[in-house]
Amino acid sequence: MSSPFILSPELTAEAAKLIPYTAFIGLQCGESNGHPLFALPYKRENIGNIFLPALHGGMLGGFIESCAVLFLYRQAGLAELPKMIDLSLDYLRSGKPETTYARCALTRQGSRIANVAVEAWQSDPAKPIVVARCHFQMPAAQ
């Protein structure tokens, strides 16, 4: 694991308060080399394909969307959560039964619309398992 993940219990607790779903799936907020990083430890409930076995793609989508929302909320210093307009996910590799990490990038931030790109990987950051892009509608009053 070449990106050491440093867990932030405070940010993780804040995420659970803002987005109860993040506590449900076990999403962790933290950082790596000063950049926000998210982690999703493995749980058996997250298996989507028992034949491979592989993590559930929609589950990974939920994790990724949560990361993008939290990233934008904090990066842009918002007072409320932005609304998602659309989400596109490309599944590049099967998610193994192990911890998944995700990092986000703010591709574009306007006053009304923001675009966030997300990459998720497991043991090797150079081998993403899912890449995604999301559009958000920014809250009206900043």
Decide: 118 and 64 in contact? Cβ < 8 Å: yes
Name which of 20 and 110 has its Cβ closer to a copy of itself. Answer: 20
84 to 66, 67, 112: CA distances (angstroms): 10, 12, 12
Contacts to a copy of itself from residues 68-87, by CB under 8 A: 69, 80-81, 83-87
Taking the complex as a whole, the smallest distance from the CB of residue 61 to a copy of itself amounts, in Å, to 4
Nearest to 72 by CA among 64, 82, 63: 82
Q: How many whole angstroms separate alpha carbon 32 and alpha carbon 3? A: 6
Taking the complex as a whole, the smallest distance from the CB of residue 2 to a copy of itself amounts, in Å, to 26
Stretch that binds a copy of itself, among 33-41, 53-61, 99-107, 120-128 (CB under 8 A): 53-61
For the window 8-47, what string marks contact with a copy of itself as x by the rule CB under 8 A?
---------xxxxx-xx-------------------xxxx
The reply on whether position 108 binds a copy of itself by CB under 8 A is no
DSSP E strands: which ranges in 1-99? 6-7, 28-32, 35-40, 47-49, 54-55, 83-91
The reply on whether position 113 binds a copy of itself by CB under 8 A is no
Decide: 60 and 100 in contact? Cβ < 8 Å: yes
Q: Which of 6, 7, 9, 49 binds a copy of itself (CB under 8 A)?
A: 49
The reply on whether position 65 binds a copy of itself by CB under 8 A is yes
